[in-house]
Amino acid sequence: MRSAASVLRPAQERRRAPALLWLRVHATPAPVLATAWLVLIVLAAIAAPWIGLRSPIDGDLMDTLTPPNADYWFGTDSLGRDIFSRSIYGARVSFFVATGSVSIGLLFGGALGLAAGYFSGVVDRIVMGAMTVVLCFPALILAIAIVSNLGPGLGNVTITIGFLFVPAFARIGRANTLVFREREFVLAAQALGAMVPRILLREILPNLMPALLSYALVMLSVAILAEAALGFLGLSVRPPEPSWGGMVASERGNLGEAPHAVFIPALLMFLSVLAINILGERARRWFDIKSQAL
C-alpha cells in the first residue's frame, strides 16, 4: 500500500514546478544585470529633458576633446559638447527606433504570417513570394536606398527598419500557424462553426505570441545596430542631433587623440545590445522549457 507521503509527493512537486522552472531560467546573475542596465539606460533616456543634463547640441570651444573628469563625466567631443549628455540623448534615438521598428515588423509580419499559414493556397504563395523578394535584397543596402530616397529622419529610419523586419516575423508566424491550425482546439472550433476571425484571434494568435515576442526581443538589438549603421553613414537623425552611430562617425578622426569620444558611445551600444541578447535568449529558453513542461 502506498504511504500518504508518496501520494502527496506528486501534488507537491506539481505545485513547486513553476518555481523550479523560474529558477532554471533565472538562476544566473546575467539576466538580472542585463535587466538592471536596460532599466537604467531607458529611464535615463526617457527622463533626459528633466534631469538637468547639459545641452547635447551646444558646446564650448574652449573645452574640446576634454577627457572624462568631474565636470564632464564622459569628456567632450571635438566641438566641446558633453558626451554624457549626447550619449543619453542618443539612447533616446536608438530605443525609439528599436521599439518602433520591431512593433511594425511584429504587427504586419505577424498578421501576414498568420493569414498565410491559415489560408494556405494562393494567399500563402502571394505573401511568402513577396517576403522572399524582400529577403533577396541585402538588408543594409536596401535600408540605405530607402532612407536616401525618403530623407534622413527618425520616422523614416523607423519605418525602413520595420519594413525590413516584416519578412522574418511573417515566416515565424506562418510556420507556427501551420502547426497550430491542425491542433485539436482549432479543429473543434471549426467543427462548432466558429468564424474565421475568432479562430485566428482567439485560438491561434495567443499560441503564436510566445514565439513572436521572444524573437521580437532579440530583434531590438538588431534594430539598434541597424540605426547605428545608418547613423554612421549620416542617414539617421539630422546633425547636430546625437545618435550613437553618428557620434562614432563624427569623432573617428580623433581616435588617437581622444579615444573616449569614440569608445564611450560604442561601449554603451555594446552593453545595450548584449543585455537585450541575454534577455532574448532567456525568453527563448523560458518559452521552450514552459512548453516542454506543459
Average pLDDT score over residue span 7-29: 52
- SS3 call for 76: strand
pLDDT at residue 101 greater than cutoff 60: yes
d(CA 130, CA 127): 5
Average pLDDT score over residue span 5-31: 54
CA 148 to chain centre: 23
d(CA 173, CA 182): 15
d(CA 85, CA 139): 31
Crossing angle of helices 260-293/30-46, nearest 10°? 120
pLDDT value for 13 = 45
Other Cβ atoms within 10 Å of 203 Cβ, number: 19
**In the chain, pLDDT over 70 holds for what percent of residues?**
88
What would the pLDDT profile of 235-261 be if each residue is shown by its tens digit? 998 888 999 999 999 999 888 899 999
pLDDT value for 63 = 87
The CATH number fitting domain 29-52+80-268, selected from 1.10.3720.10, 3.40.50.300, 2.40.240.20, 1.20.810.10: 1.10.3720.10
Residue type, position 27, single letter: A
pLDDT value for 232 = 93
Residue 268 pLDDT class (50, 70, 90 cuts): very high
Average pLDDT score over residue span 37-59: 92
d(CA 40, CA 37): 5
Residue 5 pLDDT class (50, 70, 90 cuts): very low
pLDDT value for 263 = 95
What would the pLDDT profile of 130-166 be if each residue is shown by its tens digit? 999 999 999 989 999 999 999 889 999 999 999 999 9
User: Peptide bond preceding 240: is omega within 30 degrees of 0, i.e. cis?
Assistant: yes
pLDDT at residue 10 greater than cutoff 80: no
pLDDT at residue 22 greater than cutoff 60: no
With cell 533565472, the residue in question is 26
DSSP β-bridge partners for residue 76: 82
Cβ(114)–Cβ(205) below 8 Å: yes
DSSP β-bridge partners for residue 82: 76
Residue 60 pLDDT class (50, 70, 90 cuts): confident
Residue 293 pLDDT class (50, 70, 90 cuts): very low
Cell digits for 244?
A: 550613437
pLDDT value for 94 = 94
d(CA 261, CA 83): 7
- SS3 call for 82: strand
d(CA 118, CA 250): 49
d(CA 78, CA 91): 20
What rounded mean pLDDT belongs to the chain? 87
pLDDT value for 19 = 53
Distances (CA, A) of 160 to 37, 112, 127, 130, 294: 27, 18, 19, 16, 39
pLDDT value for 240 = 87
pLDDT value for 96 = 95
Q: Mention every residue, 6+ apart, whose C-beta is less than 8 A from residue 4.
A: none
Residue of 173, 177, 201 lying closest to 189 (CA atoms):
201
pLDDT value for 7 = 40
Q: Phi, psi at residue 60, to the nearest 5°? A: -115, 110
